[in-house]
Amino acid sequence: MPPAAQTDSPTGAEAFARYWLTALDYAYQTGNTESFRQLGACGTCRALSDGIDHLYQEGGHFEGGGFKPVKLSVSDYRPSKSAKVAVFYSRELRRAVHGSGDVEEAPAAARLGFLLNLTRSHTGWVVVTAQAAEEK
């Protein structure tokens, strides 16, 4: 994790959210969800990790689907307590290739998003909730 992502500031919350997206992308590309799981145990985070783990455990893998941050914005920052970060990103075409050989495609998308609710712990930022977000 970059040092900036551990600071208690709006910039730190944004850097943490960017790292969260990078860790999720890495999990999809490699099947290794350990780093992503360490960033928070929110329901969405667990569901994403569990889905990735399941596909790789059945002998499958993902192809393509890389994420690229488009826009991040911090709101409701409360020093030493919490922050909300909207994370918007693009995604390349992704294929989930199952161990059985079946393939599912998720089309490329120019703008997808998550709203992350972060809290401060003794070690830094942690994701409390993550939900799909649309830009207003």
* CB contact set of 108 (below 8 Å; sequence gap of 6+): 90, 91, 92, 93
Task: Indicate the number of domains in the chain.
Answer: 1
Q: Residue 103: which domain range?
A: 3-132
pLDDT, tens only, 49-88: 999 999 999 999 999 999 999 999 999 999 999 999 999 9
- Record the pTM: 0.94
Mapped onto helix, strand or coil, the DSSP state of residue 35 is helix
CATH code of 81's domain: 3.10.450.50
